[in-house]
Amino acid sequence: EVQLVESGGGLVQPGGSLRLSCAASGFTFSSYWMSWVRQAPGKGLEWVANIKQDGSEKYYVDSVKGRFTISRDNAKNSLYLQMNSLRAEDTAVYYCARRIQLRFLEWFLDYWGQGTLVTVSS
C-alpha cells in the first residue's frame, strides 16, 4: 500500500525557516517524480514544486523561487521541502504527492499524504 506521511510543520515567525519531510513507503520511491502542493486555509490547491527521480531537475512556482528548495533522499525514501524567508502568505497545509508522468509536461498526482500545517505568524 502506497503511503506518504508528512511531518515538520508548525508555527514559525515571518522570515523564519522550516523543513518539511515526507516519508514514502509501499512503492519504489526512486522511480517517481514527486511534488509538493499546498492549500491555504479555506482556499484551493496550489502546486509548489516538483523533483525528478534522481533530483537532477527541480521546478517551482514563481512565488517560492529562491526561498524554497525541494530535495530527496532515495536511500531513505524521503522527500523534503526546505522553506526559508517564510511569509504570512505561505501559511497552508503542505501535501507531498506522487507524480505520474503522462507525457512531456503533463502529469497528475495519484497518491497524496495527509498534509502538514505550516503557520507563519508573529
Partner 1 sequence: QSVLTQPPSVSGAPGQRVTISCTGSSSNIGAGYDVHWYQQLPGTAPKLLIYGNSNRPSGVPDRFSGSKSGTSASLAITGLQAEDEADYYCQSYDSSLSGNWVFGGGTKLTVL
Site string for partner 1, 15-44 (x = CB under 8 A): ----------------------x------x
62 forms part of the interface with partner 1 (CB under 8 A):
yes
71 forms part of the interface with partner 1 (CB under 8 A):
no
Among 3, 45, 76, 85, binds partner 1 (CB under 8 A): 45
Among 51, 113, 118, 120, binds partner 1 (CB under 8 A): 113
The CA-atom distances, in angstroms, between 72 and each of 15, 31, 121 are 24, 12, 28
Q: For residues 27 and 111, which CB has a smaller minimum distance to partner 1 in the complex?
A: 111
DSSP state of 104: T
Q: For residues 37 and 86, which CB has a smaller minimum distance to partner 1 in the complex?
A: 37
Rg of the Cα trace of the chain? Answer: 14
Question: Is the Cβ–Cβ distance between 48 and 67 less than 8 Å?
Answer: no
Minimum distance, C-beta of residue 101 to partner 1, in the bound complex (Å): 11
Provide the Cα torsion 10, 11, 15, 21; round to 10°: 0
Give the C-alpha separation, 43 to 38, whole Å.
10
Minimum distance, C-beta of residue 39 to partner 1, in the bound complex (Å): 8
